[in-house]
Structure 1
Amino acid sequence: MALGPAARLPGVLVLLPPSETKRAGGDGPPLHLAALSHPELDPVRKALVDELVGLADDVPACRAALGLSERQLDEIERNAALWTSPTAPAITRYTGVLYDALDVGSMRGAAAGRARERLAVGSALFGLLHADDPIPAYRLSAGSELPAGGTLAVRWKPVLEPVLARLASERLVVDLRSGAYAQLARVPGAVTVTVLAARPDGSRSLVSHHNKSHKGGLARLLVSSRAEPADAAAVARIARRAGHVVERSENHLDLVIPA
């Protein structure tokens, strides 16, 4: 039975986008879908993994489907070995600007424990991952068009949206995913965040690339804090106490930075 907002379990869930770049290697056993959270997603996961492994045999088709250059053949090799390569926890597999700012590896003690409990990643290949879910390095983006047909959103929405809706009924979800990943499945009632640059003349504009760094910093605040935010207003208070300028409209927050 779904829980109402007043009965939510403690602990915010921060939903991150994945990154195109992945850390190589790992010391975990090969991919075993039963080791991942949310087993109801496994049929789509298996279909996509099998499709990527098979597609890797046709390099031109694989490059076209995944948008790869001639210098990215190693990404195809990663996909060819999805069932056999070593795994690592999802939160350490992803790299890049957002994950550098999040910097989970520097957290210690209770803060590290809270982070691992509160972090999740929206994945084009695995749908939804929690911090410790063991995954191999792979290449698949939300906008990829695989030869089997149908967008990834068409494949994921029917199975992923019910999972996200259930989580949102139990915990406050702060959805930091980028647009393409947010389109894979909606999260009802989630707190969303936009990063805006404010110019001296008062005008504002969306921050593009560097929004990842600011969202990573916000995620670090939320997942390491002792506070248990229950709504968007509480999330805004945590950010403001850390010195951020935040404006709220219902469940949406604007994080305002100097241009």
Structure 2
Amino acid sequence: MLILLPPSESKTNRRRGKPVDPASWSFPDLNPVRARVAQALAAVSASPDAPALLDVSPGLLDDIARNLVLDSAPSTPAAEVYTGVLYDALGLATLDTAARRRANRWIVVVSALYGAVRPTDRIAAYRLAMGTTLPDVGALAAAWRPALDQVLPPLVGRGVIVDCRSAPYAAAWRPGVDLTHRWVQIRVPGASHMAKHTRGLVARHLCEVGSDVRSVPALADVVGEAFTVTLHEPASTRAPWVLDVSAVV
């Protein structure tokens, strides 16, 4: 199983510790693009126009300043860096040992800066959204797409792709036609706050149950044990299944 999550807008960093080590990160094939994006991000973040160029509030200058010390900031597990509604609901730190082990194996966070990371990867907090366009890199989703298409498909194995990403991050990688029959988008009707919360709960439930299902209908049955669900078949050969998760039973 591959559970795809978006990053959070809010991020935290440990105050002390060794700096990040790119050689230790999962998916080392992504490192050339990671380095290019980090270099372009640092250049933009040093500009007086950084808030406008990064499309963030001028009140977030402290967050932007983090982009200038990515190499020297204390490394922090991604499971701690990403915070907020979805990650609070996922509650990685409160999973039992077996469920946490599955989460570390199944969950991949698609990141504008790092491309893709596992919860155990020790990274640095940053401020960058996938919808951003950086000089010498271009639109980030397009920049990441070829690289992610090399590293993500092998992770699926014979399982399913549970896609909890928001639209900008989904644009960075779409499974090919050989995988779309095992690709399901988790959709939550209503406000975005509840959508994030419910997607976090779905990811947690899957890690706790531990069933590495081999089809989307089987996955819908597992999610349906804890939620009210409606499964929609793909609209085309390139489209995902859609699982509406409307309420906790």
TM-score of the superposed pair, with normalisation by structure 1 = 0.85
How far has the Cα of 1:170 moved from its partner?
4.8
Aligned mates of 2:76, 2:199 — CA distance in 1 = 23
Deviations 1:161-184 (A, max 9, x none): 222222234542211100000001
Report % sequence identity. Answer: 38
Structure 2 counterpart of 1:245, one-letter code: T
Of the three residues 163, 168, 186, the one matched with 1:193 is: 186
> Tell me, what secondary structure is at the counterpart of 1:254?
strand
Q: Which moved more, 1:126-135 or 1:47-56?
A: 47-56
Structure 2 counterpart of 1:86, one-letter code: P
1:106 aligns with 2:90: no
1:241 aligns with 2:231: no
Aligned mates of 2:55, 2:85 — CA distance in 1 = 21
Aligned mates of 1:152, 1:51 — CA distance in 2 = 11
Aligned 8 A contact 2:110 2:169 in 1: yes
Aligned 8 A contact 2:3 2:108 in 1: yes
1:54 aligns with 2:46: no
Structure 1 counterpart of 2:58, one-letter code: E
> Tell me, what secondary structure is at the counterpart of 1:212?
helix
Q: Which ranges in structure 1 are unaligned for 5 or more consecutive residues? A: 1-11, 197-205
Of the three residues 169, 194, 214, the one matched with 1:230 is: 214
How far has the Cα of 1:108 moved from its partner?
2.1
Aligned 8 A contact 1:59 1:76 in 2: no
Aligned 8 A contact 2:78 2:122 in 1: yes
- Tell me the equivalent position of 1:253: 243
TM-score of the superposed pair, with normalisation by structure 2 = 0.88
How far has the Cα of 1:151 moved from its partner?
0.5
How far has the Cα of 1:59 moved from its partner?
2.8
RMSD of aligned Cα (Å)? 1.8
- Tell me the equivalent position of 1:5: none
CA 1:26/1:167 → structure 2, altered by over 3 Å: closer, same or farther?
farther
Aligned mates of 1:59, 1:20 — CA distance in 2 = 22
Q: Which moved more, 1:131-140 or 1:51-60?
A: 51-60
Matches within 5 A, 1:209-224: 209-224=193-208
- Tell me the equivalent position of 2:236: none
